Each structure stands twice: as C-alpha cells, then as structure tokens.
C-alpha cells in the first residue's frame, strides 16, 4: 500500500477568488496558492475575503512549502496573512516571486519566507513531492502548471489556464509534456480552471487583441490616448508599448502598481521598451500631448485608481477634454459593471472619446473556454478529475464538459470550499468537509463575522433607532426616558412625530412590564424592542435596527 495523498480545498471552489489548497502526504503539507478575494457591495466595509486559514495555521508545523502558480491576487493575496502565523519557502517563477517579494516587503514579512526560483520545465523536490513546473499561457507573465509526482501517481494542477497558440512572449503552454506524462506514468488526478467552462469556443489570442489595439491607436492621430488595463497584464502593456513605438508616441505609466510592475517586468526582460520611449507620469507636462500613450489602472472602476480620479476631475496628473481618447482594454469583472459605467459617464461629461471591449475586440480572457478545456482533458487523459477555480455554476459546467469527453460519472469528484479528498490505492474518496468559512478583512483579520456584516447591511438599508431608558427595578418605575435617537431612518420633518410615537409605545409597555417585581433588565430590553419595532413598522414600513438601552438607577 502506497501512502495516501490528501487534498483540502480551502478556497476558490464556489467563487472566483481566494484560491488555496493543501496537498499532503505522510504528515507533510504543501500549500498550492494562497489568494484573496475583494469585498463587493454585498460586503459593506470589507477590504478582502481570505480562505479559511485555520486548518493551515493549526497544522503550521507540518507546512513545508507553498507553490505560487502565478502572481494574480486571487492566488497570492492571502500569503501575508498566513505568513504572520507560519513560516515556509515559496516556489514560483521570477516574475511571480518579484510580485510576492514586494507584497511581503510591504507587510514586513520578507524574513518569514525564503523565495525559491523555478524556471520553465524545472523539476525539483518541493516538500514531500517531486514537482514539475510547466509553462502555461494566461493574462499575466510566467504562470506555471504544476505536475506533482506522488506515490499515488501524478497530480496535475492546470493553474489559471488558456491555450494561446500565439502568445506575446512566445511562451506556449507545454501540452507536449502533459501528453508525455499522460502516456507515462499516466495522470492520476487533474484539477483544472473552470472560470470559462460555460463559454463555448476558444478564447482569442492575446496577439490578435494587440493588432486591434494598434489599429485603434493609429486612428487617433493628433489626440492624446489613455488606455486602462490591469497593471499585472504585462503582455497587454507590451503590445501597447509596441503600438506606441510604431506610432511615434511615448509610453507614460500612471498609477503606483503600474509603475512598479512595469519596472519589475523590464528588469526581468519580460517587458521590452526602449528607454527613450517610456516615461513616468511626472514628465507628462514636458511632452507633446498628442504624442503620448498613457497606460493607467482603473479599468474596473476602482474608486482610488487613476482613471476613476480622471473621470471625476480629481486627477493630479491629467485634466481630460475633447482632445482625449480613453480606451478600456478590459472587460468589467462581474459585480464591477456599475462602477465601470459611472467612470464611462464621467469621461463622457468631459467630452472624451471612449472605446471599450463591447465596441471592438480589445480585450480577451486569460481563461480558456470549452474547446481549450476539452483539449487539456484530451491531452491529459486523467483517471480522476476535480474541477477547481470557479463559481458553483462554473464547476458544474466543467463537470458536464468532462462527462461529454467520456469521463465516467464516478471519476468526477465534485468538491466545494472546505472539502477534503483522499487519493489511495483504492481510488479517490470524498472525506467530507472541514468548513471552508470566509474570513473577512476589515483593518485586521478575523474581527469581522457574518453577524457584523448582517448588521452593516441592515444599517445600510434602513438605519437605526435607539431607545434609552433609566428604570428603578425595586420601585417599578421609569426614572428617565424613553429617549429615542435615530439615524438614517426617516427625514427630519416626519422624524419628531415618529420618535415621539416610539417613545410613547415603549413607555406604555415598559410600565406594564415593571408591574412584575421579578422583571429583569434583559426582559425589559425585549419589551422595549418589541414595542419600538411594532410602532416603527406600523408608521414607516421600514425595519431599522432597534437598539434598546435599559439602565438601572
């Protein structure tokens, strides 16, 4: 009997974001990715959502390494939070490690993790596993597919995956090696990206997008051009740089992360721009405005990003007018549509000419669509399959796709956040769930639970109404109050009448309750809450948070 391998899915199976899993054998753990997710409108005040790290923290002494597949936030964003508790080496490509190094330096955690460089197609021991790192195409440079050679066979993790046959850097997905592994020794388990499993066809190649962008920029003669893109999408930025050089424009970077990533990529030779063709935003005013191409952040309508600031006329660097063309070389991530629309409207108010991916093919996904996923399945011929990296519906779509590829139902193991599986000589068994809670970050980690979030939603929707009363329990009397204080409930002219009505109702019910000599402060609180809630609802049909404050003496 070979020792079993256990995999615990800590995040990313049920949402796009916070990808993290623990792969272990004989008591030794390797963490594969440790990402975060950003808070949305349904999570008021939440900066980030982390995987439930408690399993990793509790078993911290058994963690021997972390593999970082690529440098997107949904794969590396939670590393600082884990490294606050545990120390381990991190394996990744030069670009991935460069991005992680910056992150760890910012949080003063560089001494907690030794960064170990992985080159394309390297094979090395990582903790208890003999690992191969294969190049993969995606919307960020130098991502890696990981093939873990275990005593239970090869486990292949696709990383964020697309099949770009003409990638900007010429670094194609190493399908040949996957095919070779499939032939000898065979792939026991495939875990693959499900993000676009419900989209038919193939994603467009990044170079096709570059040609369209170049044409668009060529047509903007005499105008200043500003392009918003993800700061980590260095291949897109490479194509913008090429277009700038071809049209005699200077590439100007705007936004801290844009500047930092461009520097890192140039240092590593991943981004090639001649020195005289690239400048920092500080130099913008010295340049002929019709001969610049500004690349900036804010393609998702992020409130503090450069483009958003321009749209509201608050940018330190750029005042937009009808000589400007703004290009969104991106697609709004689900949930960001409204914020992006607000930015577009702001730009239109300045007379700016706007182009976006709904008008022209100037963006492509970094995640493979159905035909690309089917190609991976047919090359890898896995014995078992677990769809990962996706919302619930994406995981279902990927399972369906695998079935369509001829995989038997009982070989597709459907897992969600918190689920554990065990690979043994007998096959793969679903062990159950260890939880998989969301961990919210708002200032510090872990001080925010679903109860607080529930309260925030109520406060945001209907406001609050507090009732303050002083009582003497022995005499059964109200000494002072009830005083009613509310916020965000109703407008001022009507407010006084409503507050008085609430105070009267609470007073009446409290007097009755105080007749009982055994009544407690807690019980009086309930009485006050009920009386106030009834009155508030009768008069305003709203449900503000009712906060009774009953004091004795």
Q: How far is the CB of 35 from Zn ion (least distance, A)?
A: 7
Q: Which of 419, 357, 345, 365 is nearest to 13 (CA)?
A: 419
Token output for 407: 């995989």
Query: How do strand 477-487 and strand 545-552 relate by DSSP bridges?
Result: unpaired
What is the rounded distance in angstroms from the CA atom of residue 14 to the CA atom of residue 391?
Answer: 4
Query: Which CB, 118 or 217, lies closer to Zn ion?
Result: 118
Q: Which of 98, 88, 94, 161 is nearest to 122 (CA)?
A: 94
Give the residues across from 25 on adjacent strands: 5, 28
Q: Which of 206, 137, 202 is nearest to 370 (CA)?
A: 202
Query: Which CB, 160 or 417, lies closer to Zn ion?
Result: 160
Contact status, residue 153 vs residue 135, Cβ threshold 8 Å: no
Give the residues across from 469 on adjacent strands: 550
Helix residue ranges per DSSP H, 405-520: 450-462, 492-514
What mask of x and - would describe binding to Zn ion in positions 158 to 197, judged by CB under 5 A? --x-------------------------------------
Q: How far is the CB of 331 from Zn ion (least distance, A)?
A: 14
Q: Is 15 in the site for Zn ion (CB under 5 A)?
A: no
Q: Which residues contact 6 (CB under 8 A, 6 or more apart)?
A: 22, 23, 24, 25, 420, 421, 422, 423, 431
Contact status, residue 347 vs residue 308, Cβ threshold 8 Å: no
**Half-sphere exposure in the Cβ direction for 217 (13 Å, CA):** 32
Q: How far is the CB of 199 from Zn ion (least distance, A)?
A: 16
CB atoms within 10 A of CB 227: 27
Query: Which CB, 160 or 499, lies closer to Zn ion?
Result: 160
**Cα separation of the two ends of the chain:** 73
Burial class (CB in 10 A: 0-12, 13-18, 19+), 434: middle
CA distances from 362 to 209, 232, 295, 318, 329 (A): 5, 17, 14, 23, 5
What is the rounded distance in angstroms from the CA atom of residue 222 to the CA atom of residue 338?
Answer: 31
Contact status, residue 364 vs residue 203, Cβ threshold 8 Å: yes
Q: How far is the CB of 407 from Zn ion (least distance, A)?
A: 24
What is the rounded distance in angstroms from the CA atom of residue 95 to the CA atom of residue 535?
Answer: 61
Token output for 457: 């939603």
What mask of x and - would describe binding to Zn ion in positions 126 to 165, judged by CB under 5 A? ----------------------------------x-----
What is the rounded distance in angstroms from the CA atom of residue 214 to the CA atom of residue 103?
Answer: 33
How many positions of this chain bind Zn ion (CB under 5 A)? Answer: 3
Query: How do strand 439-442 and strand 48-50 relate by DSSP bridges?
Result: antiparallel
* Residue tagged 């990296």 (tokens): 389
The number of residues in the chain equals: 553
Query: Which CB, 160 or 242, lies closer to Zn ion?
Result: 160
What is the rounded distance in angstroms from the CA atom of residue 340 to the CA atom of residue 337?
Answer: 5
Footprint of Zn ion on 62-121 (CB under 5 A): 72, 74
Site residues, Zn ion (CB under 5 A): 72, 74, 160
């Amino acid at each position: 009997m070979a020792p079993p391998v256990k995999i615990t899915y800590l995040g990313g199976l049920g949402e796009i974001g916070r990808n993290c899993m623990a792969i272990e054998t004989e008591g030794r753990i390797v963490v594969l990715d440790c990402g975060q997710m950003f808070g949305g409108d349904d999570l008021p005040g939440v900066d980030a959502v982390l995987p439930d790290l408690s399993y990793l923290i509790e078993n911290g002494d058994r963690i021997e390494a972390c593999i970082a597949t690529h440098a997107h936030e949904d794969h590396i964003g939670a590393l600082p939070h884990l490294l606050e508790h545990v120390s381990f080496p991190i394996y990744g490509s030069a670009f991935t490690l460069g991005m992680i190094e910056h992150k760890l330096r910012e949080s003063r955690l560089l001494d907690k993790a030794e960064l170990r460089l992985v080159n394309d197609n390297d094979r090395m021991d990582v903790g208890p596993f003999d690992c191969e790192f294969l190049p993969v195409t995606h919307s960020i440079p130098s991502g890696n597919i990981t093939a873990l050679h275990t005593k239970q066979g090869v486990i292949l993790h696709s990383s964020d995956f697309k099949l770009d046959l003409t990638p900007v850097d010429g670094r194609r997905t190493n399908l040949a090696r996957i095919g070779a592994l499939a032939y000898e020794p065979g792939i026991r388990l495939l875990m693959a990206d499900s993000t676009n499993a419900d989209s038919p066809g193939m994603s467009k190649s990044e170079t096709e997008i570059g040609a369209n962008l170049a044409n668009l920029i060529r047509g903007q003669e005499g105008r200043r051009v500003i392009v918003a893109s993800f700061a980590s999408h260095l291949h897109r930025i490479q194509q913008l740089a090429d277009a700038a050089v071809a049209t005699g424009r200077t590439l100007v970077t705007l936004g801290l992360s844009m500047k930092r990533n461009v520097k890192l990529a140039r240092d590593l030779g991943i981004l090639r721009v001649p020195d005289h063709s690239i400048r920092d935003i500080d130099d913008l005013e010295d340049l002929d405005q019709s001969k610049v191409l500004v690349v900036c952040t804010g393609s998702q309508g992020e409130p503090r990003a450069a483009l958003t600031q321009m749209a509201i006329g608050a940018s330190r660097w750029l005042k937009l007018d009808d000589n400007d063309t703004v290009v969104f070389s991106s697609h709004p991530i689900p949930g960001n549509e409204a914020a992006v629309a607000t930015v577009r409207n702001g730009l239109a108010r300045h007379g700016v000419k706007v182009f976006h991916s709904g008008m022209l093919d100037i963006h492509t996904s970094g995640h493979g669509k159905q035909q690309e996923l089917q190609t991976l399945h047919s090359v890898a011929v896995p014995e078992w399959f677990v769809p990962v990296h996706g919302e619930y519906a994406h995981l279902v779509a990927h399972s369906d796709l695998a079935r369509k590829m001829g995989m038997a139902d009982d070989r597709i193991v459907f897992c969600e956040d918190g689920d554990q599986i065990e690979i043994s000589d007998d096959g793969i068994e679903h062990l159950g769930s260890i939880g998989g809670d969301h961990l919210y970050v708002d200032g510090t980690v872990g001080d925010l639970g679903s109860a607080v979030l529930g309260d925030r939603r109520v406060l945001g929707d209907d406001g609050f109404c507090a009732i303050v009363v002083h009582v003497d329990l022995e005499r059964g009397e109200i000494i002072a109050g009830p005083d009613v204080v509310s916020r965000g409930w109703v407008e001022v002219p009507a407010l006084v009448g409503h507050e008085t009505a609430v105070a009267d109702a609470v007073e009446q019910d409290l007097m009755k309750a105080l007749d009982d000599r055994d009544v407690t402060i807690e019980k009086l609180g309930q009485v006050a809450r009920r009386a106030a809630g009834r009155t508030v609802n009768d008069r305003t049909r709203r449900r503000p948070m009712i906060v009774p404050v009953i004091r004795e003496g």
